[in-house]
């Protein structure tokens, strides 16, 4: 199965669990996360940057608590990467090469989950998926055709019978959820008499019902004449078959509106604010007009789950919601927060106007005990796998890069250090001041005001790659010393090495 198809199956599965949480009043939907099969040379290839897509895909589907796979007991520090669950990972433990720099990744997941556990989920559509199949059996590969800009929850017979009632024409629950449309999925062609009576009752009480009209009774004991009589009554009450048309005719505007289908969203509502989580799944930047259906807002703020920063953004507040220009780099996830009172956050600082490349030479000190020399000096940055030194070519672990940048004067205000190309994660310090960790493209860190001084400035970049190259190095013919122990031989001597190290260019933006 292709990865995209697997993700779609997981999306249906996750959304079903999240729907149960929403309908029955729970604020948490948890799932085993990042489970990987290391066969076919996929072992130890995972790091925060390449796991973010799966994390965000799960958040978009309704997940808001990650149960990370796995952490097999590692009793020894001299046997790395160490024991495992045979071929299964993600190998999440202290022996990961990037473990000491994993905190920002954990913070990103924690901030995202925390905000997505607040308030109530907002959805317009309640999708009934029938009685004789499971979610992944129906929507495992082809997800339901829901118009862009609308959220939905799944509902099964038990939920519809026990948790849903009609109030003011809306489908509501005792736990505070509210839906505007009951959509009968394609699996509703066969329906039990019990469920037909339930749905007809909701329609006759004023609920908007649309989608697939039941055709035949599902139960052998269901009376066909009674079924057909109730079916005809439901047909007269149904708003139509086409969901998009029903939404339009009932003046139910999109909750989130932006051109295209690349931006996914999740909406949570609190008494004093509305929180929209949005993510750009395109491989390019998206700059487009955006509308949020949140009437009555006073301010629009952007909260960044990567660093926790909050800032106000320009917007237009009108009777039906909030409008602004959405500008998102590829792979970016943000929280758009509409506030109904209080004081707005400060505006976003302006972008740097100047740049200065950090020149060589670079002194590179490698982690000891992994086969590389203690240190080397490079005039230009290069991929470790291009080195003629086998200890560097097959090295896995961390290495400290140090270079000197001379400035004619001290720099006031915050500056940015752009690391260029990095494999796979990096920590930066400038003149002994910790400037943070860059764990995904574009690999930039902020340098606090007052850190850069006139004259000599020492820049240190600690980079960690992945275990793959050292495992491959240990398979080389005539290898006299090995440095890794794994539960299975995942790689061969001729397996492809992964790009590693700080490739750059490293540039100061100020």
CA of 1: how far to CAs of 4, 42, 213, 279, in Å? 8, 16, 33, 25
* Cα 246 from Cα 251, distance rounded (Å): 9
- Nearby residues of 471 by Cβ (< 8 Å), 6 or more positions away: 43, 44, 396, 484, 486, 490, 491
456 contacts 408 by C-beta, under 8 angstroms: no
Q: What is the DSSP letter of 133?
A: S
What are the start-end ranges of the H helices in 261-418? 390-393
Token pair 């980079």 in the structure block, residue:
463
* Cα 399 from Cα 464, distance rounded (Å): 7
Q: What is the DSSP letter of 188?
A: G
Q: Left (φ > 0), alpha (ψ -120 to 50) or beta: where does 229 sit?
A: alpha
Residue range 318-332: mean pLDDT, rounded? 95
Q: E-strand spans in 113-254?
A: 120-121, 125-128, 152-155, 165-167, 170-172, 178-179, 181-184, 190-191, 209-211, 216-217
Cross-strand bridge partners of residue 37: 88
Is 39 a residue whose pLDDT tops 70? yes
| Of 286, 279, 282, nearest in space to 116 by CA | 279
pLDDT tens digits, one per residue of 191-222: 999 999 999 999 999 999 999 999 999 988 89
pLDDT tens digits, one per residue of 430-483: 999 999 999 999 999 999 999 999 999 999 999 999 999 999 999 999 999 999
Residue range 167-180: mean pLDDT, rounded? 97
* Cα 400 from Cα 378, distance rounded (Å): 12
Q: What is the DSSP letter of 485?
A: B
pLDDT tens digits, one per residue of 351-407: 899 999 999 999 999 999 999 999 999 999 999 999 999 999 999 999 999 999 999
- Show the tokens assigned to 469: 């190259």
Other Cβ atoms less than 10 A from the Cβ of 441: the count is 14
Q: What is the DSSP letter of 288?
A: E
pLDDT tens digits, one per residue of 335-345: 999 999 999 99
393 contacts 383 by C-beta, under 8 angstroms: no
**Angle, CA 34 vertex, CA 31 and CA 37 arms, to 5°:** 125
Residues composing the chain: 510
Is 3 a residue whose pLDDT tops 80? no
| 4 pLDDT tier (thresholds 50, 70, 90) | low
Can you list the domains of the chain with their CATH numbers?
Answer: 3-117 (no CATH), 125-249 (3.40.50), 256-339 (2.60.40.1180), 355-509 (2.60.120.260)
Other Cβ atoms less than 10 A from the Cβ of 221: the count is 7
* Cα 487 from Cα 83, distance rounded (Å): 6
* Cα 269 from Cα 71, distance rounded (Å): 35
Task: Say what the pLDDT of residue 10 is.
Answer: 84
Q: Which residues of 332-362 are buried (b: 16+ CB within 10 A; e: fewer)?
A: bbbbbbbbeeeeebeeeeeeeeeeeebeeeb
Kind plus residue range of the DSSP H or E element containing 429:
strand 425-430
pLDDT tens digits, one per residue of 265-312: 999 999 999 999 999 999 999 999 999 999 889 999 999 999 999 999
SS3 21: helix
185 contacts 212 by C-beta, under 8 angstroms: yes
Is 261 a residue whose pLDDT tops 60? yes
Q: What is the pTM of this model?
A: 0.96
Other Cβ atoms less than 10 A from the Cβ of 211: the count is 22
Start-to-end CA distance of the chain, whole Å, equals: 47
Task: Say what the pLDDT of residue 1 is.
Answer: 42
Token pair 């473990």 in the structure block, residue:
99
* Cα 360 from Cα 377, distance rounded (Å): 9
Cis-peptide, bond into residue 309, ω within 30° of zero: no
* Cα 250 from Cα 239, distance rounded (Å): 9
Looking at every residue in the chain, the average pLDDT score rounds to 95
* Cα 447 from Cα 418, distance rounded (Å): 10
Q: E-strand spans in 34-185?
A: 36-37, 65-68, 88-89, 120-121, 125-128, 152-155, 165-167, 170-172, 178-179, 181-184
**Angle, CA 24 vertex, CA 21 and CA 29 arms, to 5°:** 10
* Cα 392 from Cα 388, distance rounded (Å): 8
148 contacts 9 by C-beta, under 8 angstroms: no
378 contacts 426 by C-beta, under 8 angstroms: no
* Cα 486 from Cα 271, distance rounded (Å): 52
Other Cβ atoms less than 10 A from the Cβ of 142: the count is 10
Residue range 83-110: mean pLDDT, rounded? 96
439 contacts 51 by C-beta, under 8 angstroms: no
Tell me whether residue 479 is exposed, middle or buried, using C-beta atoms within 10 angstroms of its C-beta: 0 to 12, 13 to 18, 19 or more: middle
Q: Could you give the percent of the chain with pLDDT greater than 90? A: 93
């Amino acid at each position: 199965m292709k990865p995209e198809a697997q993700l779609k199956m997981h999306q249906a599965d996750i959304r079903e669990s999240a729907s149960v949480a929403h309908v029955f009043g729970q604020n948490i939907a948890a799932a085993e996360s990042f489970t990987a099969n290391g066969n076919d040379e996929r072992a130890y290839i995972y790091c925060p940057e390449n796991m973010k897509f799966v994390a965000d895909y799960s958040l978009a589907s309704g997940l808001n608590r990650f149960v990370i796979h796995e952490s097999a007991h590692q009793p020894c520090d001299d046997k790395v990467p160490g024991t495992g669950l045979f071929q299964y990972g993600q190998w999440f433990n202290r022996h990961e090469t990037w473990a000491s720099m994993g905190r920002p990744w954990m913070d990103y997941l924690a901030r995202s989950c925390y905000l997505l556990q607040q308030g109530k989920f907002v959805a317009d559509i309640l999708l009934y998926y029938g009685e004789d199949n499971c979610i992944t059996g129906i929507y495992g590969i082809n997800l339901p055709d829901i118009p862009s800009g609308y959220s939905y929850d799944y509902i099964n017979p038990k939920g519809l019978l026990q948790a849903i009632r009609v109030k003011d024409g809306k489908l509501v629950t005792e736990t505070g959820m509210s839906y505007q449309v009951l959509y009968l999925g394609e699996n509703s062609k066969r329906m039990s008499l019990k469920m037909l009576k339930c749905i007809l009752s909701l329609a006759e009480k004023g609920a908007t019902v649309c989608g697939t009209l039941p055709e035949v009774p599902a139960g052998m004991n269901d009376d066909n004449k009674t079924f057909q009589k109730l079916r005809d009554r439901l047909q007269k009450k149904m708003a139509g078959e086409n969901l998009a048309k029903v939404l339009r005719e009932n003046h139910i505007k999109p909750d989130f509106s932006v051109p295209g289908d690349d931006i996914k969203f999740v909406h949570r509502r609190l008494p004093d604010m509305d929180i929209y989580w949005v993510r750009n799944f395109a491989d390019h930047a998206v700059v487009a007009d955006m509308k949020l259906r949140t009437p009555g807002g006073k301010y629009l703020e952007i909260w960044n789950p990567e660093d926790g920063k909050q800032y106000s953004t320009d917007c237009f507040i009108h009777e039906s919601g909030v409008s602004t220009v959405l500008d998102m780099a590829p792979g970016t996830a943000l929280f758009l927060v509409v506030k109904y009172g209080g004081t707005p956050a400060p505006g976003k600082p302006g972008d740097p106007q100047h740049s200065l490349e950090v020149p060589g030479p670079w002194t590179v000190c490698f982690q000891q005990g992994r086969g590389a020399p203690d240190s080397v000096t490079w005039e230009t940055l290069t991929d470790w796998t291009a080195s003629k030194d086998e200890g560097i070519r097959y090295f896995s672990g961390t290495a400290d890069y140090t270079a000197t940048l001379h400035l004619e004067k001290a720099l006031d205000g915050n500056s940015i250090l752009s690391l260029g190309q990095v494999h796979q994660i990096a920590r930066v310090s400038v003149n002994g001041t910790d400037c943070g960790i860059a764990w995904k493209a574009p690999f930039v860190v902020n340098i606090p005001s007052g850190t850069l001084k006139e004259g000599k400035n020492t820049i240190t970049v600690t980079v960690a790659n992945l275990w793959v190259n050292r495992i491959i190095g240990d398979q080389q013919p005539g290898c006299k010393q090995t440095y890794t122990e794994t539960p299975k031989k995942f790689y061969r001597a001729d397996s492809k090495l992964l790009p590693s190290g700080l490739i750059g260019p490293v540039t100061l933006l100020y």
